[in-house]
Amino acid sequence: MSNRLGDFVSRGISIAKKDARIYYFKPQIFGFGILIPGFVYLSFSLGRQIPNEILIPGLVAMISLFSASSIEAIAIPIERQTGTYELLQMAPVTTATIVFGKSLAGSAFGVVLSLVTAIGAMLLTGGAIINPFLFALAVIVGSFAFSALGMLVAAAVKDMPTANISLTAIRLPMIFIGGVFQPVEASPLQLRIISYLTPLSYLVDALREAMVATSIIFVVDLVAMLTWFIVLQMLAIMVLNKRLA
């Protein structure tokens, strides 16, 4: 049992390291993972007086969403096209190991960019985080969920343009209803209900909790993001396994 778990983790890490090496510096990642969320955020926040506890969690959550979900949305279509995804399928690893390794690569990218963004935003605005450890923990769990989202979309479509368009069609509405620009509580009831169906709103909420005052809500947010991560991973595994039939 421990041997199996060891193989699962070590081979997953090998896949993650390989993806990090090949895809982190692709120009498409810079465009879809960094430039787009940066511009979207600036276009909505410039000229407005936004308090730090709204600005920093919203910005960090958006960077996490876009960067963590972008890696595999680009990697999987490229690997399918070049046949290198088949190389992974030929190896003695389960689809779950492949999905875990790839999610790890996407989430690590999201965590690093989000934390760098958080540090930069704090330096520029003079904002402070009451509980940096919980802030980082929320970023890690949220990035895992977003990376799994990117995996699922990439697994379900045929090519890279379709993956990116589909992902953008999911991500943009999420940032408008997920409390990125204003707290979810300030939205109308119907939007509030929908926002609780997206993982982004839980990350924004958890980051705000970690920034100002941590309560039991933080744990609820964390559990919700973990649930999203597990559900999206399982769906990605199902979609990829279906292609074997």
Partner 1 sequence: MQTEPAVETSDLTKCYGKLLAVDHMNLKVNKGEIFGLLGPNGAGKTTTIRMLTGLTNPTSGAARITGRDCVRERLAVKQRIGVVTEESNLYGEMSAWDNLMFIGELYGVDKPTRTERSRQLLEFLQLYERRDDLMLTYSKGMRRRVRIAAALVHRPEVLFLDEPTSGLDVQSSRLIRSLIRELNEEGVTIFLTTHYIDEADQLCGRVAIIKQGKIVADDSPQKLKFTLHGEHLVEVAFGGNVSDVEAVLGKHPLVKDIVKHGDKYQIHTANPSAVIKEIVQYALSNGLEIISVNTKQPSLEDVFVKYTGLDAVQVERMEFRAMKAGGRRV
Return the H-helix or E-strand segment holding 110: helix 95-125
How many residues sit close enough to partner 1 to count as binding (CB under 8 A)? 22
Q: What minimum distance in Å lies between the beta carbon of 24 and partner 1? A: 11
Does 162 sit near partner 1 (CB under 8 A)? no
Which residue from 8, 9, 18, 34 is in contact with partner 1, where contact means CB under 8 A?
18
Which tokens go with 84?
Answer: 């290198």
Q: What minimum distance in Å lies between the beta carbon of 164 and partner 1? A: 20
Does 123 sit near partner 1 (CB under 8 A)? no
- Beta-strand ranges (E) seen in 49-170 are none
Q: Which CB sits closer to partner 1, 89 or 125?
A: 89
Contact residues for 199 (Cβ-Cβ < 8 A; gap 6+): 142, 145, 146, 149, 224, 225, 228, 229
Does 10 sit near partner 1 (CB under 8 A)? yes
d(C-alpha 229, C-alpha 227), whole Å: 5
Q: Are 34 and 99 in contact (CB under 8 A)?
A: no
Does 192 sit near partner 1 (CB under 8 A)? no
Q: What minimum distance in Å lies between the beta carbon of 2 and partner 1? A: 14
Contact residues for 67 (Cβ-Cβ < 8 A; gap 6+): 29, 33, 34, 37, 109, 110, 113, 114, 143
Q: What minimum distance in Å lies between the beta carbon of 36 and partner 1? A: 24
Binding range to partner 1, per CB under 8 A, among 6-14, 44-52, 190-198, 226-234: 6-14
Which tokens go with 182?
Answer: 């204003």
Task: Write the interaction track for partner 1 spanning residues 82-101; mark x where CB under 8 A is met and - where it is not.
Answer: xxx-xxxxxxxxx-------
Which tokens go with 233?
Answer: 């991973």
Q: Which CB sits closer to partner 1, 14 or 131?
A: 14
Which tokens go with 26?
Answer: 């692709």
Which tokens go with 32?
Answer: 């879809």
Q: Which CB sits closer to partner 1, 88 or 137?
A: 88
Question: Footprint of partner 1 on this chain (CB under 8 A)?
Answer: 7, 10-11, 14-15, 18, 21-22, 82-84, 86-94, 244-245
